[in-house]
A and B are shown apart, each in its own frame.
Chain A
Amino acid sequence: MSFKGSLSRVEADLSVSVRKATSIDETAPKRKHVRSCIVYTWDHRSSKAFWNGMRLQPLAGNDIQVFKALITIHKVLQEGHPSVLKDAQTNLNFIESLGRSPTSSSSYSKLIVEYSRFLLRKLHFHKNHPAFNGMFEYEEYISLRTINDPNEGYEAIMDLMNLQDAVEDFQKLVFSALHHGRSNECKISSLVPMIAESYGIYRFIVSMLRAMHATTNDDEALEPLRARFYSQHARLLDFYYDCSTLKYLTSIVTIPKLSQAAPNLFSEEDESGPS
């Protein structure tokens, strides 16, 4: 039996999408192919075929393809069915191996190493906090739970902030890898999921910190978190500003607008102005 014959029709379609998303051209992974991968995981409530498709791609040896694979994986982790995050835990070695594969000569090698490291950290976070989805979308019950257990909440916020720092490190690397006068589309497209990631984390931290301030009444204990939040807010503001100067990026995503001053953590209502 030939290998092709053992795949069902939809799985064959999926593997075409994976192949096209990780093509050899130095462009962004095409949205339509990435979208088919995402939609597949929802249609079938499973991501096994996606991971299989990825593993079967002959990626090694071409840095552009490996980098595009990492972007694609990141997007499917974010937007795909929750089972993607779960199945990813069994594919940690694969993601790690992608990070070991770059040839040392290209401008992508550093980016690949760091991207795979970042994805591993993200997956580590999701393993420890399975209640979060890939985009960190705000779900009320989590913040309620963390209020009941401030220690757990404290830890969750610390972990989120560590992840936010990892985003920050990676995006700096991307900006420093951009070359003048060349099409940087492929590198820039890795910022798209990073913007989504950082904004999701940011909003989650804001609502969680507010909830904790409202219930614990222990300002002193929360002081280190506050200080760290303020500095992250300032750096995030810079990051989004830098992004808004990239025309290619602004044409495909809306870059979130943060207020110049950090939001007030002591009240639910007042969006601006220091406390």
Chain B
Amino acid sequence: MSKLVRSIKNVASGYTTTQVKVRNATSNDMYGPTILEMEEISQLTYQNYELLEIMDMVDKRLNDKGKNWRHVMKSLVLLDYLLHCGSESVVLWCKDNIYIIKTLREFQYVDETGADHGKSIRIKAKEMTSLLLDDDKLRAERSDKKQW
């Protein structure tokens, strides 16, 4: 059902195919993003125009509200993947916008049942921040892509 609504929204809001790919990869579905989806998007980051659209959408998703914590979590996962396997421009974007990731280190969302969905986001944001601040480690991890 939600998938149908999303596909209507995609058309209604006039998103490009690239943006739709990012939206699907970072949706509110229980599963994903799959390696296949992330791989496809990371290839697109080597094209300047597509890159802007991808980062724009990731930015939107990262700033989503608590109820959509899955958007935030999945965008972090995707961004982490792009940071390792995408173009160098992704690294530059992340460094310029590190505050978006940094400020997620205190992300909070507790649902009606009292389950804390923020924790995994806080941990992920912490890991990514320290990776972004450590140029040597980042370079090493980017050159050794087999880790993924």
The finding on whether chains A and B are genuine partners in a shared complex, rather than unrelated, reads: yes
The B112-133 residues at the A interface (CB cut-off 8 A) are: 116, 118, 126
Which residue of chain B has the shortest Cβ distance to A28 in the bound complex? B108
The A128-172 residues at the B interface (CB cut-off 8 A) are: none
Sorting the interface of chain B by its residue count into under 10, 10 to 19, 20 to 34 or 35 or more gives 10 to 19
B116:A251 contact, CB within 8 angstroms: yes
Chain B binding surface SS class = helix
A252:B103 contact, CB within 8 angstroms: no
Residues of B within 8 A of A266 (CB): none
B107:A31 contact, CB within 8 angstroms: yes
Residues of A within 8 A of B118 (CB): 252
Q: Does B95 interact with chain A (Cβ within 8 Å)?
A: no
Residues of B within 8 A of A38 (CB): 99, 103
Chain A binding surface SS class = helix
Which residue of chain A has the shortest Cβ distance to B110 in the bound complex? A251
Task: Specify which of B63, B102, B106 is in contact with A253 (CB 8 Å cutoff).
Answer: B106
Sorting the interface of chain A by its residue count into under 10, 10 to 19, 20 to 34 or 35 or more gives 10 to 19
B99:A252 contact, CB within 8 angstroms: no
CB pairs A–B below 8 angstroms (8 shown): A35-B103, A35-B106, A39-B99, A39-B100, A39-B103, A42-B100, A251-B116, A252-B108
Q: B: which residues have CB within 8 A of A?
A: 63, 65-66, 97, 99-100, 102-104, 106-108, 116, 118, 126
For the A-B complex with A32-B108, A252-B108 known, give 10 more contacts whose Cβ atoms are closer than 8 Å.
Answer: A35-B107, A38-B99, A39-B103, A42-B97, A42-B99, A42-B100, A79-B99, A81-B99, A192-B106, A252-B118
